[in-house]
A = this chain, B = another copy of it.
Amino acid sequence: MTSHTRGRRPAGSDTRETIILAARKRFSEHGYPGTTMRAIAADAEVDPRLITHFFGSKQELFATVVELPFNPEVVFPMLLSGSDDGLGRRLAEFILNILENPQSRNVITGIIRAAASEDAAAAQIRDRVVVRMLTPLAEHVGADRPELRASLIASQVVGLAFARHVVEVPALRSAERAELATFLGRVFDVYLRGPLPPVDG
């Protein structure tokens, strides 16, 4: 119980990083409005004032903390180049990998939970994620209506993450990886390469 009273701590404790970790966890588990500065501070064993000292405001903290756990500009070209065969499957395996890692999964659920609120900060995050994710994805889809196809893929990815890790639907939690990969792979192939419907006009 060494609850120090005041002033700077002796060296060695990377408080800033501790705050970031705590904030990322809180935002990921409770969403933006459900997360309080004081709760983050408590988790990080730190005075709330320290957070505003480092990051300014709650919104700025949020914007600092939330980032995609992979680089779309690098990942999508890698995944979507090469033979058409197994394309959807490769994408599915990649997504499942991301969701398997607890740390990156938390970031994803955090973004989802935060994006679900109507706060100004959330809108900003929504825009940022959509642009940074959908644009590179669409650029490598290589078919007609790439934005539509990319958006449909993203919708299934978000839906899977939501159902599996936010709602925690039992059948999705307990499903074997190979099963999910197979189904998702096929679905992604539909979105990537399926023909468009005939237009009537």
Chain A residues in contact with chain B, CB under 8 A?
29-31, 33-34, 112-113, 115-119, 126, 130, 134, 145, 147-148, 150-152, 154-160, 162-164, 166-172, 175, 178-179, 181-183, 186-187, 190-191, 194, 196-197, 200
| Min distance, Cβ A107 to any Cβ of chain B, angstroms | 15
- Beyond known contacts A115-B167, A147-B170, A158-B159: 19 more, CB 8 A cutoff: A31-B117, A116-B116, A116-B117, A126-B167, A130-B169, A148-B179, A151-B171, A152-B183, A155-B156, A155-B162, A155-B163, A155-B172, A156-B159, A158-B163, A159-B160, A159-B162, A159-B163, A183-B190, A183-B191
* Complex Cα spacing A28 to B34, Å: 16
Nearest opposing residue in chain B for A146, CB measure:
B171
> Which chain B residues lie closer than 8 Å to A148 at the CB level?
171-172, 175, 179
Copies in the complex: 2
* Complex Cα spacing A178 to B196, Å: 9
* Residue in A130, A152, A179 whose Cβ sees the most chain B Cβ within 10 Å: A152
Asked if A118 contacts B197 (CB within 8 A), the reply is no
Asked if A115 contacts B171 (CB within 8 A), the reply is no
Asked if A115 contacts B172 (CB within 8 A), the reply is no
Given known A130-B169, A150-B171, A162-B159, contact A31–B33 (CB-CB < 8 A) = yes
* Complex Cα spacing A148 to B119, Å: 34
Given known A155-B162, A155-B163, contact A197–B178 (CB-CB < 8 A) = yes
Asked if A166 contacts B34 (CB within 8 A), the reply is no
| Min distance, Cβ A20 to any Cβ of chain B, angstroms | 20
Asked if A147 contacts B160 (CB within 8 A), the reply is no
Asked if B169 contacts A151 (CB within 8 A), the reply is yes
> Which chain B residues lie closer than 8 Å to A115 at the CB level?
166-167
Residue in B29, B162, B168, B179 whose beta carbon sits within 8 Å of that of A162 in the complex: B162
Asked if A171 contacts B147 (CB within 8 A), the reply is yes
